Amino acid sequence: MGVTIVTSPEAGAQLAARLIVDLVRSKPHAVLGLATGSTPLPTYAALADAVRAGAVSFGAVRGFALDEYVGIDPAHPESYHQVIRREVVQPLGMDPALVRVPDGVGADPAQACRDYDDAIRAVGGVDIQILGIGTNGHLGFNEPTTSLASPTHVTALTAQTRADNARFFDTPEQVPTRAVTQGLGTISQARTLLLLANGENKASAIAAAIEGPVSSMCPASLIQLHPDVHVIIDGAAASRLTLSHYDRL
């Protein structure tokens, strides 16, 4: 596992963007797993800068969003359909037809989940899965006690996750109670995991993910079982690591 402790979220975003640009330059039809939330936004902005500078094209890159709320109108500005369109597809010049977001409003959610995993497999799997981490250690919306082998599925959101995400909505009650998420088994099949975190409020989750036991109580601890993981965190997010004093790279 490569753990890089950076001096600022911006420095982390530059580093993460470099890894992604290197992939896409060598593999223009690469497949990216796309997290939403606040953490990856500076990385997406750095990628958009690289596109504007003519350093890379995302025109043939495929994308699979990590998750979507259940029951939210895909046209709602905080639906992940809209977030992915606004923060990723448009600024990176991706082809919308090549980018998929889980279906949170369909009549048959279980079938939609199976179709999502099939679609990822059909294009050869995800090359780099971009991940944030919840304050409770969730990856995607895989909340504590989710099976580490789970496929894409519908899940209930914990009170903590709903409270953490209330900032995106007008009132806390508007935060959906359920979501469709790539499962931990789905995520772990990506060839590379790129986990980003910043801030003191992520320090406990990061310490549990990197140094704690592999346990469904900290879903992000599954990264310890993956052969190619890059963790890029700022000093505050690294502040509870026991081994933060040595360079793991």
Amino acid at 158: T
37 vs 109, beta carbon nearer ligand F6R: 37
Give me the helices (H) in 53-150, please. Answer: 80-84, 90-92, 109-122
**Rounded CA gap, 242 and 244, in Å?**
6
Binding segment (CB under 6 A) for ligand F6R, from list 4-12, 110-118, 119-127, 139-147: 139-147
Selection from 91, 178, 93 nearest residue 143 by Cα? 178
Chain-centroid distance of CA 179 in Å reads 14
Binding segment (CB under 6 A) for ligand F6R, from list 69-77, 100-108, 136-144, 223-231: 136-144
Binding segment (CB under 6 A) for ligand F6R, from list 1-9, 47-55, 105-113, 131-139: 131-139
Is 146 among the residues that bind ligand F6R (CB under 6 A)?
no
Give me the least distance between CB of 134 and ligand F6R, in Å please.
4
Candidate residues 9, 12, 102, 134; the one interacting with ligand F6R per rule CB under 6 A: 134
Is 140 among the residues that bind ligand F6R (CB under 6 A)?
yes
**Rounded CA gap, 47 and 43, in Å?**
6
- Which residues in the 169-188 window bind ligand F6R by CB under 6 A? none
Is 72 among the residues that bind ligand F6R (CB under 6 A)?
no
Candidate residues 66, 72, 203, 222; the one interacting with ligand F6R per rule CB under 6 A: 66
20 vs 133, beta carbon nearer ligand F6R: 133
Q: Where are the beta strands (DSSP E) in 60-182?
A: 62-65, 67-69, 99-100, 128-131, 153-156, 178-181
Residue pair 137/208 in contact by the 8 Å Cβ criterion: yes
Question: In this chain, which residue has its C-beta nearest to ligand F6R?
Answer: 132
- Which residues in the 13-42 window bind ligand F6R by CB under 6 A? 35-39
Amino acid at 131: L
39 vs 150, beta carbon nearer ligand F6R: 39
**Rounded CA gap, 15 and 197, in Å?**
13
- Please name every residue paired with 218 in a beta bridge, in sequence order, or none if there are none: 215
Give me the least distance between CB of 36 and ligand F6R, in Å please.
4
64 vs 141, beta carbon nearer ligand F6R: 141
Candidate residues 42, 132, 144, 185; the one interacting with ligand F6R per rule CB under 6 A: 132
Binding track, positions 80-119, relative to ligand F6R; x by CB under 6 A: ----------------------------------------
**Rounded CA gap, 57 and 181, in Å?**
28
**Rounded CA gap, 158 and 93, in Å?**
35
**Rounded CA gap, 134 and 204, in Å?**
10
Q: Could you list the residues that contact ligand F6R (CB under 6 A)?
A: 35-39, 66-67, 132-134, 138-141
